[in-house]
């Protein structure tokens, strides 16, 4: 039997003005288990807390009920006071007599009655309270960043600057991501390479950062503070430690038929290659799909010309294992495949390109050395048509497109249109738009400049069909404001294709037990208040893997994400919320119902031996909850048919006791 103390706060007249506090304290003093009951002017004050502490000592109280303001205000205060007297914090319950009683009711009699009932409910609960201990777990002071685009680089740099070790895992041979492929960046039009490559070098040179390029995440185990990751270092067939990046092998390689993915396939590269001049790490990679030596054992030229002796045709994939305290997903995006939009002629008409392809066609380091030439005949286009929202903003059931706005297309299309008009004033540029969406600092001004200063023709309407018409493209479109159907003979059509999360995101999300939405974007712990954290503790989100973003937004989110990671790594030990779920192994069926509804992946199963009848042992699969990962929502407790799963601090019996007390 608990020895319960009841403390009714007047809150000045806030409570006492409507509730007869003395009557409440008196009524509750007769409840079973209550050994002390009193009222006081301000329980939260220093002297109020003192009163409580004395009562705990004097009456050897094992449980406390405070009738006061909302627990959201002062629960922590009273818990601390109880703890100071050696009573477990979780033996304190609050009856909310202010927000839920005195402030909303006027009739003293009724308010007093309600206050007594709420007091009884709190007493009923305290009877079933058990002391709870917040657990602690150690923290490995190292972070893993998955993805080496601008998001991953920025997050890694910020974490490293705070003094913690960071590993970047990047699946391509170089870090840099999509930004490395861009020509200029909006709204300032500075060159992407000029601002990105110094950061890539910083990352490479930082003593706290290790870059595992051409590597992929293989498996992850563990929980916040204590992750164990396996990383597959794919065979480059080039010894990274020996290669100097001189590039002689790439020049001498006789097999020059591999499509150059960095240039969106507009030109070819060798079977041994360095993606681009500023690649980090700047080492060669052999593409096993094309290398003659690897395919049929004949060639070996690169090995002969390599002065450093870095070529190693026998290299194998290597799996390394590392421990981390926090993991950052920065897996980025890709444009969707525009081939599904056959009506725009992509894939059948060579002069229909995507915006990312156009970036390469305009980039000084691209296949045309920065001169805008159309792919079909390398001629300069005189009429260029941009189509916005290709695959964005589609209805949920659309099989070809995405339901969301890709967010960056309006701005980069304005940029493209502007750059073309600036470099080639003899070009007519049309942009077909549904809406022009330019929220962002200096964004709308930028778009207006494209229209007003550069004379880009913005037309409200959509393109319906693009067909090849001799050397030109016939573009059939609507001009909704003029009520016309337009037929434009264009030389180049550029599709602003929707962006989607990288294909690897889904499997990485599964490994991390980080939840994802139906579009494969990572879900944030709270859409407003915790936007850079995954609901799974210790997993953080950086960049477009969480949702479409432009570069400035990506960089700010990357830094915010770093701050959250530093917050974890800076601690030596993590305190866990003790109000977590726990499973009674004797009752658990191991049916996995709870696991399915857990947003945190906190539940795992093990086969355990149990004593059966007649001295037999039975092996049963039972659930166990990792208290460091569980956040205490309780979804599992209802999913569990056997009642094995319960939530500490809000147990089935506690809640039913409150129900009973209220309905009495």
End-to-end CA distance of the chain: 21
Span interacting with other proteins, options 251-259, 465-473, 543-551, 555-563, rule CB under 8 A: 465-473
Residues 140-179 that bind other proteins (CB under 8 A): none
Residue from the set 285, 363, 582, 637 that interacts with other proteins by CB under 8 A: 637
Kindly state whether residue 100 participates in binding other proteins, applying the rule CB under 8 A.
yes
Is residue 113 close enough to count as binding other proteins by CB under 8 A? yes
Q: Residues 552-581 vs other proteins: string with x where CB under 8 A?
A: ---------------------------x--
CA-CA distance, 659 to 125, in Å (whole number)? 10
Q: Are 563 and 624 in contact (CB under 8 A)?
A: no
Q: Which of 205, 241, 518, 614 binds other proteins (CB under 8 A)?
A: 518
Check binding of 460 to other proteins (CB under 8 A). Answer: yes
Nearest residue (CB) to other proteins, 423 versus 596: 596
Nearer to other proteins, 366 or 461 (CB): 461
Of 141-149, 188-196, 214-222, 627-635: span binding other proteins (CB under 8 A): 627-635
- Closest distance to other proteins from the beta carbon of 414 (Å): 18
Q: List binders of other proteins among 183-202 (CB under 8 A).
A: none
Footprint of other proteins on 264-303 (CB under 8 A): none
State yes or no: residue 434 binds other proteins (CB under 8 A).
Answer: yes
Q: How far apart are CA 585 and CA 536, in angstroms?
A: 24
Distance CA 607, CA 475 (A): 65
DSSP string, 497-549: E-EEE-TTHHHHHHHHT--B-TTSPBPPSBTTTBTTB-SSTTEEE-GGGSS--
- For other proteins, give the closer residue by CB, 149 or 401: 401
Which helix (H) or strand (E) segment is 223 a member of?
strand 215-223
Which listed residue (589, 604, 608, 624) binds other proteins by CB under 8 A?
589
Among the listed residues 298, 314, 470, 614, the single contact to other proteins using CB under 8 A = 470
Q: Among residues 250 and 651, whose Cβ is nearest to other proteins?
A: 651
Report the alpha-carbon distance of residue 61 to residue 82 in Å, rounded.
Answer: 10
What are the DSSP E strand ranges found in 506-658? 539-541, 573-575, 581-583, 603-611, 617-625, 645-647
Which of 17, 41, 42, 103 forms a contact with other proteins (CB under 8 A)?
Answer: 103
Pairing of strands 581-583, 645-647: antiparallel
Which secondary structure element, helix H or strand E, spans residue 211, and what is its range?
A: strand 209-212
Residues 215-254 that bind other proteins (CB under 8 A): none
The only residue of 383, 605, 608, 624 in contact with other proteins, by rule CB under 8 A: 605
CB 305 within 8 A of CB 203: no
Site string for other proteins, 46-75 (x = CB under 8 A): ------------------------xxx---
By CB under 8 A, the residues from 391 to 430 that bind other proteins are 393-399, 401
Does the protein bind other proteins through residue 626 (CB under 8 A)? no
By CB under 8 A, the count of residues binding other proteins is 106
Closer to other proteins at the Cβ: 50 or 592? Answer: 592
Q: Per CB under 8 A, which region of 139-147, 178-186, 307-315, 642-650 contacts other proteins? A: 642-650
Candidates 77-85, 267-275, 320-328, 589-597 — which segment interacts with other proteins by CB under 8 A? 589-597
User: What letter would DSSP give residue 51?
Assistant: H
Q: Which is nearer to other proteins, 30 or 528 (CB)?
A: 528
Q: Rounded to whole angstroms, how far apart are CA atoms 353 and 448? A: 25
Instruction: Indicate whether 204 belongs to the interface with other proteins (CB under 8 A).
Output: no
d(CA 278, CA 363): 14
Residues 363-392 that bind other proteins (CB under 8 A): 389
Binding mask 19-48 for other proteins (x = CB under 8 A): ------------------------------
DSSP E strands in 360-498: the ranges are 383-390, 428-433, 457-460, 463-469, 472-479, 484-490, 492-497
Taking phi first (over 0 means left), then psi (-120 to 50 degrees means alpha), and beta for anything else, what does residue 614 get?
Answer: left
List 9, 27, 55, 111, residue binding other proteins (CB under 8 A): 111
Burial 167-200 (b: 16+ CB within 10 A, else e): bbbbbbbbbbbbbbbbbbbbbeeeebbeebbebb
134 in contact with other proteins (CB under 8 A): no
Handedness of CA 118, 123, 127, 132 (dihedral sign): positive
Residue 471 within binding range of other proteins, rule CB under 8 A: no
Q: Considering beta carbons, is residue 315 or 476 the nearer one to other proteins?
A: 476
Given 334, 478, 489, 604, the residue binding other proteins (CB under 8 A): 478
- Please return the burial class of 389, using the count of CB atoms within 10 Å of its CB with bins 0-12, 13-18 and 19+: buried
Q: With contact defined as beta carbons under 8 Å apart, do 644 and 589 qualify?
A: yes
- Least CB distance from residue 2 to other proteins, whole Å? 18
Q: Examine residue 627 and tell whether it contacts other proteins (CB under 8 A).
A: no
* Nearest-approach distance from CB 494 to other proteins, in angstroms: 17
Q: Rule CB under 8 A: which of 330-349 touch other proteins? A: 339-343, 345, 347-349
Segment lying near other proteins (by CB under 8 A), choices 98-106, 221-229, 285-293, 316-324: 98-106
The span from the CA of 232 to the CA of 255, in Å, is 27
Instruction: Determine the interface stretch with other proteins among 109-117, 142-150, 222-230, 297-305 (rule: CB under 8 A).
Output: 109-117
Among 105, 268, 382, 457, binds other proteins (CB under 8 A): 105
Place of tokens 């947003």: 599
Nearest approach in angstroms of CB 579 to other proteins is 7
Report the C-alpha gap between 653 and 127 in whole angstroms: 10
What's the CA gap between 192 and 466, in Å, rounded?
A: 31
Phi, psi torsion values for 539, nearest 5 degrees: -110, 130
Which one, 424 or 650, has the nearer CB to other proteins?
650
Among 368, 523, 542, 582, binds other proteins (CB under 8 A): 523
Answer whether 558's CB lies under 8 Å from 620's CB: no
Helix (H, G, I), strand (E, B) or coil at 554: helix
Q: Quickly count: other Cβ atoms within 10 Å of residue 135's Cβ.
A: 15
When asked if residue 305 is in the footprint of other proteins (CB under 8 A), the reply is no
Give the start-end residues of each E strand in 72-179.
92-96, 136-138, 142-146, 165-169
* Phi then psi dihedrals of residue 517, to 5 deg: -85, 180
What is the nearest approach in angstroms of other proteins to the Cβ of residue 643?
4
User: Which runs of consecutive H residues, i.e. helices, occur in 218-276?
Assistant: 248-252
- Of these, 50, 316, 453, 469, which contacts other proteins (CB under 8 A)? 469
Q: Considering the rule CB under 8 A, would residue 110 count as an interface residue with other proteins? A: yes
Who contacts 60 (Cβ-Cβ below 8 Å, separation ≥6)?
A: 3
User: 483-502: which residues touch other proteins (CB under 8 A)?
Assistant: 483, 485
State in angstroms the smallest separation of the CB of 150 from other proteins: 27
Q: 3-state SS of the chain: helix, strand, coil percent to 5?
A: 30, 25, 45
């Amino acid at each position: 039997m608990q020895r319960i103390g009841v403390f009714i706060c007047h809150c000045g007249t806030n409570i006492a003005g409507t509730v007869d506090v003395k009557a409440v304290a008196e009524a509750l003093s007769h409840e079973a288990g209550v050994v002390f009951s009193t009222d006081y002017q301000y329980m939260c004050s220093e002297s109020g807390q003192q009163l409580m502490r004395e009562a705990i000592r004097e009456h050897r109280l094992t449980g406390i009920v405070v009738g006061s303001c909302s627990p959201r205000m002062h629960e922590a205060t009273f818990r601390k006071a109880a703890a100071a007297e050696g009573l477990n914090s979780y033996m304190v319950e609050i009856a909310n007599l202010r927000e839920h009683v005195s402030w909303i009711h006027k009739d003293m009699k009724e308010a007093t009655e309600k206050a007594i009932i709420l007091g009884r409910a709190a007493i009923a609960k305290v009877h079933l309270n058990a002391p709870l201990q917040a657990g602690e777990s150690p923290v490995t002071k190292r972070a893993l960043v998955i993805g080496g685009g601008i998001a991953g680089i920025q997050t890694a740099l910020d974490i490293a600057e705070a003094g913690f070790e960071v590993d970047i895992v990047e699946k391509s041979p170089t870090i840099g991501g999509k930004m490395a492929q861009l020509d200029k960046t909006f709204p300032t039009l500075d060159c992407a390479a000029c601002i990105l490559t110094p950061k890539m070098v910083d990352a490479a040179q930082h003593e706290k950062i290790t870059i595992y390029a051409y590597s992929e995440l293989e498996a992850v185990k563990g929980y916040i503070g204590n992750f164990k990751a396996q990383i597959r270092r794919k065979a480059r067939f080039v010894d990274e430690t020996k290669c100097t990046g001189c590039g002689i092998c790439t020049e001498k390689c006789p097999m020059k038929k591999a499509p150059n993915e960095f240039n969106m396939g507009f030109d070819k590269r060798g079977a041994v290659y360095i993606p681009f001049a500023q690649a980090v790490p700047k080492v060669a990679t052999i593409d096993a799909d094309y290398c003659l030596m690897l395919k049929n054992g004949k060639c070996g030229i690169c090995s002969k010309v390599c002065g450093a002796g870095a070529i190693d045709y026998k290299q194998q994939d290597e799996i390394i294992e590392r421990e981390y305290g926090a993991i950052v997903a920065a897996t980025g995006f890709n444009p969707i495949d525009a081939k599904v939009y056959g009506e725009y002629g992509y894939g059948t008409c060579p002069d229909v390109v995507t915006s990312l392809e156009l970036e390469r066609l305009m980039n000084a380091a691209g296949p045309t050395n920065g001169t805008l030439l159309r792919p079909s005949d390398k001629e300069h286009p005189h009429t260029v048509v941009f189509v916005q929202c290709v695959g964005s903003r589609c209805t949920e059931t659309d099989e070809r497109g995405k339901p969301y706005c890709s967010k960056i297309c309006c701005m980069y299309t304005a940029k493209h249109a502007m750059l073309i008009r600036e470099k080639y004033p003899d070009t007519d540029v049309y942009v077909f738009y549904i809406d022009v969406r330019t929220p962002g600092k200096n964004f709308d001004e930028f778009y207006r400049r494209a229209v007003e200063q550069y004379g880009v023709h913005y037309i409200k309407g959509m393109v319906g069909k693009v067909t090849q018409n001799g050397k030109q493209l016939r573009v059939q479109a609507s001009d909704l404001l003029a009520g016309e159907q337009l037929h434009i003979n264009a030389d180049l059509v550029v599709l602003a294709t929707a962006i989607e999360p990288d294909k690897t995101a889904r499997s990485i999300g599964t490994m991390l037990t980080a939840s994802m939405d139906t579009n494969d974007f990572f879900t944030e712990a709270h859409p407003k208040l915790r936007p850079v954290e995954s609901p799974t503790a210790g997993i953080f989100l950086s960049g477009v893997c969480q949702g479409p973003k432009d570069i400035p937004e990506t960089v700010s989110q990357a830094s915010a994400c770093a701050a959250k990671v530093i917050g974890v790594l800076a601690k030596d030990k993590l305190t866990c919320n003790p109000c977590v779920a726990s499973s009674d192994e004797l009752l658990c069926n191991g049916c996995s119902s709870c696991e399915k509804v857990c947003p945190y992946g906190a539940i795992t199963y093990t086969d355990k031996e149990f004593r059966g009848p007649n001295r037999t042992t039975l092996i049963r699969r039972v659930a166990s909850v990792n208290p460091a990962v569980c956040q205490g929502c309780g979804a599992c407790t209802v999913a569990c048919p056997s009642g094995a799963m319960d939530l500490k601090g809000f147990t089935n019996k506690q809640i039913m006791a409150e129900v009973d007390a209220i309905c009495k």
